[in-house]
Chain A
Amino acid sequence: MKITKEQVEHVASLAKLSLSEEEIERLRTQMGGMIAFADEINTLNVASVRPTTHAIAQKNVFREDGCAPSYDRAVMLENAPMQDGECVVVPRVVE
């Protein structure tokens, strides 16, 4: 299946990315290759195979409810590009 320029732009806008014309063209080719591979898989007959979402056959991996101390705020905020000592700060989000 061929990927169109519009499809690349759509996915980019969902991911809030702005792409140059060259980037769009490069990604269009790459994504086309990925989809082609999926198409190839689609040609296999899997009528007798149960849908699988996990590579290992495990279920019910749980944690019992209970608290442990959280991380130090200053340490957590070190990862933010912008912060004010209490909160992560981002450019104003329009609603």
Chain B
Amino acid sequence: MEFETVIGLEVHAELSTQSKIYCTCSTAFGASENTHICPVCTGMPGVLPALNKSVVEYCVKAGLALNCKINQYSRQDRKHYFYPDLPKAFQTSQYDLPLCYDGYLDIDVPEGDPLDGKAQKSTYRKRFGITRIHIEEDAGKLLHGAGSTRIDYNRCGVPLIEIVTEPDFRTAGEVHAFLTMLRSILIYAGVSNCRMEEGSMRCDVNLSLRPGPDAPFGTRTETKNIASMSATVRAIEYERKRQKKVLEKGGVITQDTMRWDDERGLNYAMRSKEDAHDYFYFPEPDIMPIEVDDEWLGRIKASLPELPNARRERYMADYGLPAYDAGFLTGERALAEYFDDAVAAGAPPKSASNWLMSDFARLTNEHSLTWDALPLSPEDLAKCIALVESGKISRTSGSKILDAVFSGDTRTPDELVAALGLAQVSDEGAIRAMCEEVVANNPKPVADFKAGKEKALTSLVGQVMKASKGKANPALVNKLLRELLA
């Protein structure tokens, strides 16, 4: 039997604030257990929360970046549940008046398997609806042991936004493309660092199957504990196949919460939570209503940077870059800004793009560097490109300069050209002498070339390049050899 897969997402992103949502404890990741806690974030009786203003601003910023409408009058609500990761026994969240609602993202979805590693694919454009975005607090971390559970409350009270989408996804590829763009936008906007491996971006997947696009939605399950983009794809494929098997055998899907185990590549139903949706929401009396007036909204709007989609269009329209280049360069804000700066410093856009996609992609990978921490300034990249394109050094020598700089050499490109002896010999007299010598010492290829074997020239060019220790300008060598053999 064939089924259509219907997927909706709940994405949690930790906000990039210094302090927690209701207290002044630090949000820094990786501190010793329970060293970033206080009576407020551990829910001691009698404490009062003080809402962090930046949390509201970041959430509205995310909403604007995701084409949402903004509830200019909003408030917080208590969501009650009893679990040891939440010592207050309620999560301060938002219920019927989320800060943002009714947004969307237009995505160019690559065809086929998102994990097959193929870079360039044909795409189709699709709009995915965003139901709402609200602010809430994160819970603590449970560390399960043999007979007991230990609890670290450092994460308790770290501000989150929860982004809920419409059930608009039909394939794991669509989810992958959406999450990639969402992550990119949230990082661009400075709202979250979205490090899935540190848990600062998490995705729950609601999935159901139905016989066809016109059939009513089937019963859905919710899969949690997905810790990376690729795990999202695997978890979706697994759950889709599991439900398909059940339905084909005539069984029924129960509305379970599944936990994804990426190491074993399978999921299992968590303890039944049939009562879990009885959260007894009510308005949070300790937090005053939030009013984002036009003036404040305008300031938040003005603080948004140029977002990846707009930038992508600009690179294609203004610089004539291929879609693939534009997509690569706008994938991360730091990379896009580096590219912009290099172009502003005089680098031809397509050349800068080529260098970034080849040498830079390799070197950042080899040296485990992020795009915001490159050892070469954009001006020096423009300089390197100019050195190559003016024929002063070869493209290979350009790579050598980058290798040196990425390995910690702090000299400028000009100094490195001199120190490493990379200057190309473009002195026609010197190169002509070398060519003459090579022609004299290699009668066989010379004869072959004269007999019409075009390929023999390559071997002669190679000999000259060797004699010049790689410094001869290859175009000039080519030209002179042809003259000599004519």
Which residues of A approach B to under 8 Å, CB–CB?
10, 13-16, 53-54, 58-68, 70-71, 73, 76-77, 79, 82, 84, 86-95
Contacts and interface: CB of A to CB of B under 8 A. Distances in A.
B18 A66 contact: yes
Contact of A87 (B17, B33, B147): B33
B50 interface: yes
A66 B144 CA distance: 32
Q: Which 10 A-B pairs have the closest CB atoms?
A: A87-B150, A53-B283, A62-B53, A68-B24, A65-B54, A63-B50, A61-B288, A88-B151, A93-B149, A86-B33
Contact of B35 (A54, A73, A91): A73
Q: Secondary structure of the A side of the interface?
A: loop
A60 B288 CA distance: 6
B275 A13 contact: yes
B291 interface: yes
A77 B84 CA distance: 14
Contacts of A88: 34, 84, 150-151, 153
Contacts of B275: 10, 13-14
Interface string B26-45: 10000011111111001010
Interface in B5-58: 17-19, 24-26, 32-39, 42, 44, 50-56
A28 to B, nearest CB: 18
B408 interface: no
Interface string B365-379: 000000000000000
B290 interface: yes
Interface in B361-394: none
B289 interface: yes
Contact of A59 (B36, B147, B152, B289): B289
A11 to B, nearest CB: 8
Nearest to A86: B33
Interface of B: 17-19, 24-26, 32-39, 42, 44, 50-56, 75, 80-84, 142-153, 259, 270-271, 275, 278, 283, 285, 287-291
Contacts of B289: 53-54, 59-60
A68 B56 CA distance: 20
A86 B37 CA distance: 12
A70 B288 contact: no
Contact of B53 (A53, A65, A70, A86): A65
Contacts, number: 128
B288 A92 contact: no
A60 B50 CA distance: 10
Contacts of A84: 150
B51 A53 contact: no
A93 to B, nearest CB: 5
A64 B271 contact: no
Contacts of B75: 53
Given A54-B285, A76-B34, A89 B149 contact: yes
A86 B270 contact: no
A14 B54 contact: no
A54 B285 CA distance: 6
A63 B149 contact: no
A60 B53 CA distance: 9
A89 B25 contact: no
Given A15-B82, A53-B285, A60-B291, A87 B34 contact: yes
B271 A95 contact: yes
Contacts of A90: 84, 148-149, 151
B259 A95 contact: yes
A92 B145 CA distance: 7
A73 B148 contact: no
